[in-house]
Amino acid sequence: MFERSFGSEVAPRVVKRVNPAASSRAQRRPERVSPRRVNVFALLAISGLLALSGCGGGRSPSPSKSAYITKANAICQTARSQTAPLITQVTSLAGSVSSGSPSAAQRLAATLTHLHAVAAGYLAQLERLQQPSGDHAAIEQFLTPLAQVVDAIGKAAAAVGSGQLPAALGLLEQAAPEAQDATAGAQAYGMRQCETVLAALG
């Protein structure tokens, strides 16, 4: 009898009825978000947008061929004005070096080093230009041999500096066909100023 009375008295206190309407209202009640958390979310969202734009989301569209040519021609025109006198000096000094002049060899090394630095700088500018869509292969017909010429000039400067004059002159001679290839590539694409940037070596 004790067990039945205990069960009958305790059970109403243990079992709690749930009001369905109240439960649904509690579920629909929005969670309050502090202003500080809102600011944090806003900062995270802005940071995400900035990261996307830095990864190419805000990249400008591909330029037209004419726009690319205009920029490339401007670079080549300035490059030619600075490299042509240096190439002329190299040609003149190479003849003196062949006759055994030590001072000419020193001047040749310095001139080649200067020429390489100038040419490499302008090559880097050309390589950084955004290219028209679908024209990469055509532009590389100019940039690839041009890069080979610049590399040959740098190696020739190092060879002269270490006293390897025949090797240096051989490198410069080998660069002539590559200079002609660069000229042909520029001509084929329509870069008139770039056609003559290496004319002194051709």
CB 194 within 8 A of CB 142: yes
Is the pLDDT at 8 greater than 70? The verdict is no
**123: CB partners within 8 A, 6+ apart:** 143, 146, 147, 150
Structure token pair of residue 189 = 């694409």
- Strand, helix or coil for residue 62: coil
Q: Is 169 exposed, middle or buried (0-12, 13-18, 19+ CB in 10 A)?
A: middle
Measured torsion, CA atoms of residues 23, 25, 27, 30, in degrees rounded to the nearest 10? -150
Distance, CA of 122 to CA of 66 (rounded, Å):
20
Is the pLDDT at 55 greater than 70? The verdict is no
Q: Residue 36 — very low, low, confident or very high, per pLDDT cuts 50/70/90? A: low
pLDDT tens for residues 74-126? 999 999 999 999 999 988 888 787 777 778 889 999 999 999 999 999 999 99
Map out the domains of the chain as residue ranges: 65-195
Higher local confidence (pLDDT), 177 or 6: 177
